[in-house]
């Protein structure tokens, strides 16, 4: 469809002299629960700079309203905020911003392309003219294409230029055909989703995982992990299949298999005309020729079949109807009569014109987009017409049926009629027996017979083929008759009643303490006999074995754990960045933990204040199941805010049993974990259950590190809510030793002969204050710190860490070797120096931007009894380098 509007000449003159272009800054694909929606997981988020159009709402662009209504009249159904049909067009007339228009265009062009999806949001960022345009998609790459195309369309409408909309629609259909799951695979996935069974696509094709961890099953198209490879091999060999069926007294078509053209004439004479030729290893009717009646035609059919297989089957052509019987788990679940693609003459139009007219049927579409597939003209079509001495220009008589394909496959334009309810019991018995003879859990049995209402033994019907990985489309959406939800039988087989599809998931988020809390929860679960997979900011672990190193707190790492068939329990550290980038890596969790919400990463990705950050962290709690638990920090006001909107059970932890939130919560019968009289205590209502004394828990450093006590409270509460007994939790707490192995970068103390070194990856003001509180309890002749700034943090946050450093250290090394993140090195150093000088203008500051030399200098000049603290992972491979220094001291 092309549009050419002349409309308003004066406006056009203005537009021709002033080009309005928008800039796409970024397109993100969200695949899981996200900040825009917990339930609508598949969203495109496009960051769009309107530039000059920020000052030009739609009602100031002459002719825009008329042009968009003409190009996309179907958008009349968009209700928008008006709540009535035509509401969006009314908004355009009244004046709305171009980001909003692009959102609606992106949704509509997907709908026109056969992928109807209707969720959208457009929100201005805190930067004028820059918007987040968010809309749903069905196919990821189609969604990205729609985002880009919507901007192009809007610009063409603004400029009153022609736009080839049909090109975009055609391209989106092509992308869908390349990327989408096929109808059979898709139907199984949809059935699983309807039962709340999660799924993961394992490749770009049709390999799919249902369920998580040890409870997963896999299937490819309509072959499952239960499908016997031997059975598939047998079914793929038509000669072997026929032999086994014959030996089992099942009627089959007589025939032979040859590979040498010299054997063709004798084989034809043996079987007798009419004949069917088909490749031994073929499928979907490829290479087949039917109703061969002459030797010349036989030679052509043989050569055609040879292009698909070295060996060719020659069978007696049986007259009758083509039936497909679907057997799943050795039970007949559907049967269909299949008709090859055909047209009916009217005495007026040519065969080509009749094909074109048939393809206009709205039920027919490109590839698998609709119930029926468009009819294409190929060699098979031309051969069939030639046998009747027809061409595409022939005009058939009225009422004459002209077959265009030799096989009845839906993928080549065939049609199907459901006959499930009229299959004779004897034929059901035969088909179910065939599935066992061949050994297939899912099979499609092709039968040629006059009908299926009589036993095949009576009406002369025969079994033609047994197909592994049969297509479901003819049963899911027959041209006539009752659709059959055959995918339900597959899911019933894979997940019989009582079998679980999920594994328990505990997700941990927050600003500080996430990694330690995650590791401690995983330790408690592992100590109680479960194989745990967990993700942290330093790596992915399965049963305490690191499988991937690095910051692995995003959705890809979560999926890595959920795909592992050995994992029985998942504990997933879930950071801000991954949520904003792609959403959560899981659909739902059983327990969500928020350790705290503090100032960090502000000013990045439209997160400007703690309310914005709270909205991000709340995504984890939004994904908790209704009967699950949110574990929240009652000492943090922003965590308490999250509880107000939680749709699950809520439990709190606090360092103060007299915290009003705790008192009110427990008064109502709620559950909490509190630190009281030196004990880690579970409180249910008015009852207290002491789990362990803090001084007995190594992670708390004798009860001296408050932020570690908070981590213990969160982990203890999560484990208790899952069902672990206090005594089992106690044993785990007492065996979790803070060390570079257990908690790398979290309060790791190295004891040299004359001094100590503390390594902690604190990187924000709250983390620095936690370390400061601990160092206040440490006796030392001198406190020395090595610090650095992080380039993507706000100036104020960098200076605040410097101020805190000035309060806790007697001497400070600045080593700004890395973490520049777009900033100049000297700029970061100046911010740190400025913050230190605000507190103590005379503080000794040493600047050394070579981490190896900086660490060496600090160790060489360490005084006896001093305490050297390295923060923010300032030194590259800090733990390894400090360990090497310690090893050298021990060796000497």
User: How many secondary structure helices (H) and strands (E) does the chain include?
Assistant: 30, 38
Report the alpha-carbon distance of residue 783 to residue 785 in Å, rounded.
7
Contacts with 804 (C-beta within 8 Å, 6 or more apart), sequence order: 765, 768, 769, 772
Dig out the tokens for 58 from the structure: 């739609």
Closest CA to 410 of 444, 441, 383, 435: 444
Please say whether the beta carbons of 257 and 314 come within 8 A.
yes
pLDDT at 645: 93
pLDDT in tens, 188-213: 999 999 999 999 999 999 999 999 99
CA 443 to chain centroid: 30
pLDDT at 368: 66
pLDDT in tens, 8-19: 333 332 333 345
Contacts with 735 (C-beta within 8 Å, 6 or more apart), sequence order: 523, 527
Chain position carrying tokens 């033609």: 464
The SS3 of residue 113 is coil
Contacts with 868 (C-beta within 8 Å, 6 or more apart), sequence order: 755, 756, 757, 758, 784, 785, 786, 858, 859, 862
Report the alpha-carbon distance of residue 804 to residue 802 in Å, rounded.
5
Splitting the chain (892 residues) into consecutive groups of 10 residues, what average pLDDT does each group show? 35 39 94 94 96 93 96 94 91 96 98 93 93 97 98 96 96 94 95 97 95 98 96 92 96 91 93 91 78 92 92 89 96 96 93 92 75 86 90 93 86 91 98 98 96 95 95 92 97 97 98 95 96 95 92 95 98 95 96 94 84 96 97 97 96 97 97 98 96 96 94 98 97 92 85 93 88 91 93 89 95 88 89 94 93 92 94 76 88 76
| pTM assigned to the model | 0.85
pLDDT at 817: 84
- Complete edge-to-edge strand list for the sheet that includes strand 442-449: 415-418, 331-339, 321-328, 442-449, 462-468
Report the alpha-carbon distance of residue 525 to residue 382 in Å, rounded.
67
> What is the distance between the terminal CA atoms of the chain, rounded to a whole angstrom?
83
Report the alpha-carbon distance of residue 810 to residue 432 in Å, rounded.
83
Chain position carrying tokens 């923010």: 872
pLDDT at 284: 66
pLDDT at 132: 97
Report the alpha-carbon distance of residue 729 to residue 847 in Å, rounded.
46
Dig out the tokens for 32 from the structure: 């899981």
Q: Which residues pair with 546 in a beta bridge?
A: 541
pLDDT at 790: 87
pLDDT at 303: 93
Please say whether the beta carbons of 557 and 535 come within 8 A.
yes
pLDDT at 18: 45
- My answer on whether omega of the bond before 28 falls inside 30° of 0, hence cis, is no
CA 829, 835, 836, 838 torsion-angle sign: positive
Report the alpha-carbon distance of residue 883 to residue 880 in Å, rounded.
5
Contacts with 155 (C-beta within 8 Å, 6 or more apart), sequence order: 20, 21, 22
Contacts with 192 (C-beta within 8 Å, 6 or more apart), sequence order: 198, 199, 210, 491, 501
């Amino acid at each position: 469809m092309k549009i050419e509007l002349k409309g308003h000449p004066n406006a056009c003159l203005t537009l021709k002299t002033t080009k309005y272009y928008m800039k796409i800054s970024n397109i993100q694909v969200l695949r899981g629960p996200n900040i825009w929606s917990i339930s609508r997981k598949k969203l495109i988020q496009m960051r769009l700079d309107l530039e000059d159009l920020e000052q030009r709402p739609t009602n100031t662009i002459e002719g825009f309203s008329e042009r968009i209504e003409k190009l996309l009249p179907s958008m009349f159904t968009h209700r928008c905020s008006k709540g009535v049909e035509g509401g969006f067009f009314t908004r355009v007339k009244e004046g709305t911003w171009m980001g909003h228009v692009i959102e609606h265009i992106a949704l509509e062009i997907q709908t026109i392309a056969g992928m109807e999806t209707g969720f959208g949001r457009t929100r201005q960022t805190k930067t004028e003219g820059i918007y987040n345009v968010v809309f749903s998609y069905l196919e990821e790459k189609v969604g990205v294409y729609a985002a880009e195309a919507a901007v192009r369309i809007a610009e063409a409408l603004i400029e009153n230029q022609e736009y080839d909309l049909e090109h975009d629609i055609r391209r989106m259909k092509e992308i869908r055909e390349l990327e989408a799951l096929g109808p059979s695979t898709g139907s199984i996935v949809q059935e699983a989703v309807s039962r709340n069974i999660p799924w993961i696509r394992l490749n770009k094709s049709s390999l799919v995982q249902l369920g998580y961890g040890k409870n997963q099953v896999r299937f490819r198209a309509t072959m499952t992990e239960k499908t016997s490879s031997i059975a598939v091999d047998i079914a793929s060999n038509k000669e072997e299949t026929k032999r086994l069926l014959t030996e089992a007294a099942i009627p089959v078509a007589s025939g032979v298999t040859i590979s040498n053209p010299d054997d063709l004439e004798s084989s034809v004479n043996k079987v007798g005309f009419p004949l069917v030729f088909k490749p031994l290893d073929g499928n979907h009717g490829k290479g087949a020729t039917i109703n061969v009646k002459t030797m010349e035609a036989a030679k052509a059919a043989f050569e055609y079949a040879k292009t698909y297989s070295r060996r060719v089957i020659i069978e007696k052509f049986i007259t009758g109807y083509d039936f497909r019987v679907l057997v799943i788990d050795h039970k007949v679940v559907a049967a269909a009569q299949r008709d090859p693609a055909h047209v009916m003459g009217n005495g007026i139009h040519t065969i080509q014109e009749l094909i074109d007219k048939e393809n206009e049927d709205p039920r027919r579409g490109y590839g698998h987009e609709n119930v029926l597939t468009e009819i294409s003209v190929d060699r098979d079509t031309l051969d069939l017409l030639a046998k009747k001495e027809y061409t595409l220009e022939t005009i058939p008589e009225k009422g004459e049926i002209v077959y265009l394909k030799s096989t009845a496959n839906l993928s080549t334009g065939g049609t199907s009629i459901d006959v499930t309810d009229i299959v004779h019991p004897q034929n059901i018995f035969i088909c179910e027996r065939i599935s066992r003879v061949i050994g297939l859990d899912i099979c499609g049995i092709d039968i040629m017979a006059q009908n299926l209402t009589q036993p095949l033994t009576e009406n002369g019907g025969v079994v033609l083929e047994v197909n592994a990985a049969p297509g479901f489309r003819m049963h899911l959406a027959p041209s006539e008759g009752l659709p059959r939800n055959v995918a339900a039988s597959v899911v019933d087989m894979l997940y019989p009643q009582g079998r679980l599809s999920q594994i328990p998931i505990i997700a941990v988020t927050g600003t500080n303490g996430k990694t330690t809390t995650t590791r401690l929860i995983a330790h408690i679960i592992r100590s109680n006999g479960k194989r745990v997979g967990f993700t942290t900011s330093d790596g992915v672990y399965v049963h305490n074995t690191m499988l991937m190193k690095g910051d692995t707190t995003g959705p890809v790492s979560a999926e890595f754990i959920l795909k592992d068939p050995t994992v029985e329990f998942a504990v997933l550290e879930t950071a801000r960045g991954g949520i904003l980038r792609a959403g959560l890596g899981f659909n739902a969790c059983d327990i969500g933990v928020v350790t705290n919400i503090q100032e960090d990463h502000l000013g990045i990705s439209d997160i400007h204040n703690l309310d914005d950050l709270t909205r991000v962290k709340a995504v984890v709690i939004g994904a908790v199941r209704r009967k699950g638990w949110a574990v929240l920090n009652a000492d943090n006001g922003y965590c308490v805010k999250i509880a107000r909107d939680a749709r699950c059970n809520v439990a709190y932890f606090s360092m103060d049993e007299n915290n009003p939130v705790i008192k009110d919560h427990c008064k109502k019968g709620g559950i909490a974990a509190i630190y009281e009289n030196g004990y880690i205590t579970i409180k249910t209502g008015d009852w207290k259950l002491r789990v362990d004394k803090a001084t007995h828990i190594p992670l708390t450093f004798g009860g001296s590190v408050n932020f570690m006590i908070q981590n213990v409270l969160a982990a203890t509460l999560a484990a208790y809510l899952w069902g672990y007994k206090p005594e089992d939790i106690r044993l785990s707490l007492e065996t979790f030793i803070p060390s570079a192995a257990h908690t790398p970068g979290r309060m790791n103390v190295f004891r040299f002969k004359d001094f100590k070194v503390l390594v902690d990856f604190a990187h924000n003001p709250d983390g620095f204050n936690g370390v400061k509180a601990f160092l206040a309890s440490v006796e030392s002749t001198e406190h020395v710190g090595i610090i650095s700034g992080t380039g993507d943090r706000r100036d104020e946050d960098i200076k605040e860490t410097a101020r805190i450093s000035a309060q806790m250290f007697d001497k400070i090394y600045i080593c700004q070797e890395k973490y520049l993140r777009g900033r100049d090195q000297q700029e970061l150093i100046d911010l740190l120096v400025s913050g230190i000088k605000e507190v103590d203008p005379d503080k000794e500051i040493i600047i050394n931007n070579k981490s190896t030399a900086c660490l060496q200098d600090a160790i060489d000049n360490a005084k006896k009894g001093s305490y050297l603290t390295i923060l923010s992972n300032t030194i590259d491979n800090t733990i390894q380098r400090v360990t090497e220094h310690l090893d050298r001291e021990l060796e000497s």
